[in-house]
Structures are given as C-alpha cells and as structure tokens.
Amino acid sequence: MWTEALDEISKKGYLGTLLSEIKGCGPRLRDAAVAIEAFVPQRVRIGVTKGIRVLDREPLRALLGQLEDEEEGSTVRLVLVRGGQRSGKTWGRHLFLRQAREQGAEGVYLTPSMAATVDLVVQKLFAVVGASDAIPLQSSTPDAWYSVICFRLQEAAAQKNRPVWIAVDDLGPGRDGEPLIEKEVKQFWDQFALNLADPSFAKWFRLMLIHYPEGDVPTGWSREIWEEDRCCETDVTAADVEKALWQWLDSHQLREHEDRIKLLAANVIAAAEARAGPRLERINAELGKVLTDFGGAAQ
C-alpha cells in the first residue's frame, strides 16, 4: 500500500510536501527525509539561489519530469501554462530552463519584446542551433512556410546534435483584453506544437507556452503530447515557504534555525499579506529577508 501511495504522491508532484512534513516529526525522521531528498531529481526541488525563488509549482515540476521521460513511455512534449494575472506563470520558466540544462539541451526564453514578429522568432531559433544561413524563404502560404521552418530546424538541430527547449511567454491577452503578441506569432507556435507529435521532431524540441489563451487548443494537436499547468496567486502557502527554508538550511548544512522554521514561514506569509502590491512579489521579498539573515548567521 505504501509503495502505491508514494508512487502516486511522486507522480502528482507532492513528494516535496511529504518530505517537508516528515522533517518536522523529530530528528530521526528528519534525517531519513534528508537522505531521501538527496536522491530526488533536481526538478522537484525549490530553487532559492541568486534571488530566484520558485515556490509551490510542484505539479509543474512533475510535468517537467514527464518531458524528459520519453524512454519511460511519456509522450508529453508541451506544457501549457495558464492562470490569472500575477499568478506566477512566468516564473515557471526558471524550472523549465533549469530542466533543459540538466538534460544537456539549449534553453530559450522568448517574449514579444524580444521577438515581436515571426521573422524575428525564426531568426532567433536558427541562431540558437547555429544555422542562420539555413532559414527558408517564404514562397507559399504562411502555414506551409511554418512547416518548412520546422523541418529545417529539425535538420539543423540534428546536424549540430543540439536539443532545444523553448519557453514562449505572453501568448494570451493583456489586462485590456487585447493580445500581447501578433496573431501570426501564435499561429507559428501552434504549428510548431503540432509537429511535436512526430517522434523524430520531438527528439530535438520541447515547448512551454506561457499565458496561453483560455479555451480549446488547436484541433490538430494530439492530446497525448501536451499537459496544462494552472497556477493562482493564492497557491503559495506557509508550507511552501517552509520547504524553501528547509532546502536552504540543508544546502548550507545549518542546524541552528531548524526549530524556528514553522514560525519563520508563518511570519513571512503574515508580513507579505500586511503589505500592498502583488502577493507573490511580497512573499518573495519577505523570504529573501529571512534567507539574508540566515546567510549572515552562517558567516
């Protein structure tokens, strides 16, 4: 029974939550949890270094594991990230790009301000695979041209032996309801995603589409290739802050603050809720203060 339960907990991305709870149940169980955590893939851990603190998002971490598990039977190659304004959607790219590095792939992050047109998007992608001279000229309909682009990118990536993981942001509407990106750019990425159903193409590419519009996905997409990650501004709780604090202490081999973790996590949430501004930014700032204090104590 426990084997099945742990398997399901891990698949759903809540192993970190379980380990965090175990750590508060005494020194022997805590040491066991730390030993287990040492074998947990990096994707399920919380990043708290260099100001990048991605709290919660355990379901996303589990999805990222599926992106790399093709040999284990996973067919997921695309993650759609949806949610409200200021819900932390964009921060998930840090987990995606870190996973790309761990897989030996080139990580790419694109926004409308970086590449506002299809031409610029294409130039960027071919530059990443080192094949700027292989960009095909448009001599047919846009959809046909997008297909040719994908074929040429696949060929270039294979020749360079360079897998590429691409995170694209702001694909949905802004606060005024107007699109943040040209419709042709979204159409290009929809076509790119369509090709991920082909194993020979998916061997070289993974895709994260952030702030993807609500509603149905393109009819041509194979349902087996994509999963959705949905986040909300209120998702982050004191338990998520606890996990970040435990990880920081473990990584720095500190023990003197362990008995205060729950209180410190609760204080972070309380202080953030008492301030004005985006909730996740406030929590991040308050957690940063605590980690700074930890760092000072460690010196």
Rounded to the nearest 10 degrees, the angle between the axes of helix 15-23 and helix 27-37 is 150
Residue 254 amino acid letter: L
Q: Where in the chain is the domain with CATH 3.40.50.300?
A: 70-231
Reduced to 3 states (helix: H, G, I; strand: E, B; else coil), residue 165 is strand
106-110 and 226-231 as β-strands: parallel, antiparallel, unpaired? unpaired
Q: Where are the alpha helices (DSSP H) in the chain?
A: 2-11, 15-23, 27-37, 58-68, 92-102, 118-128, 142-160, 183-194, 199-202, 238-251, 261-273, 279-298
**Tokens linked to 141:** 């309909």
Q: Give me the pLDDT at residue 84, please.
A: 76
Residue 209 φ then ψ, to 5°: -110, 110
Q: Give me the pLDDT at residue 58, please.
A: 76
Q: Are 212 and 172 in contact (CB under 8 A)?
A: yes
Q: Give me the pLDDT at residue 52, please.
A: 54
Pick 285 or 185 by higher pLDDT: 185
Q: Are 23 and 33 in contact (CB under 8 A)?
A: yes
pLDDT tens digit string along 5-14? 555 554 444 4
What does the DSSP assignment read for 87-133?
Answer: SSTTTHHHHHHHHHHHTTPEEEEE-TTT--SHHHHHHHHHHHTT-GG
pLDDT tens digit string along 203-260? 999 999 999 999 999 999 999 999 998 887 777 788 888 888 887 888 777 776 778 8
Q: Give me the pLDDT at residue 298, please.
A: 43
Residue 195 φ then ψ, to 5°: -70, -15
Residue 81: band (very low, low, confident or very high) from pLDDT cuts 50, 70, 90 = very high
Q: Give me the pLDDT at residue 205, please.
A: 97
- DSSP conformational letter for 217: P
Pick 87 or 261 by higher pLDDT: 261
User: Of all residues in the chain, what percent carry a pLDDT higher than 70?
Assistant: 78
- CATH fold of the domain at 70-231: Rossmann fold (3.40.50)
* Least confident window among 62-76, 166-180, 279-293: 62-76
Which pTM does this prediction carry? 0.74
Query: In the predicted model, what is the mean pLDDT of the chain?
Result: 82
Q: Report the alpha-carbon angle 250-253-256, nearest 5.
A: 95
Q: Is the pLDDT of residue 149 over 80?
A: yes
Burial class of residue 297, CB neighbours in 10 A (0-12, 13-18, 19+)? exposed
Q: Is the pLDDT of residue 104 over 50?
A: yes
Residue 176: band (very low, low, confident or very high) from pLDDT cuts 50, 70, 90 = confident
Q: Is the pLDDT of residue 35 over 60?
A: no
* Least confident window among 30-39, 58-67, 106-115, 232-241: 30-39
Cα–Cα distance, 56 to 287 (Å, whole number): 13
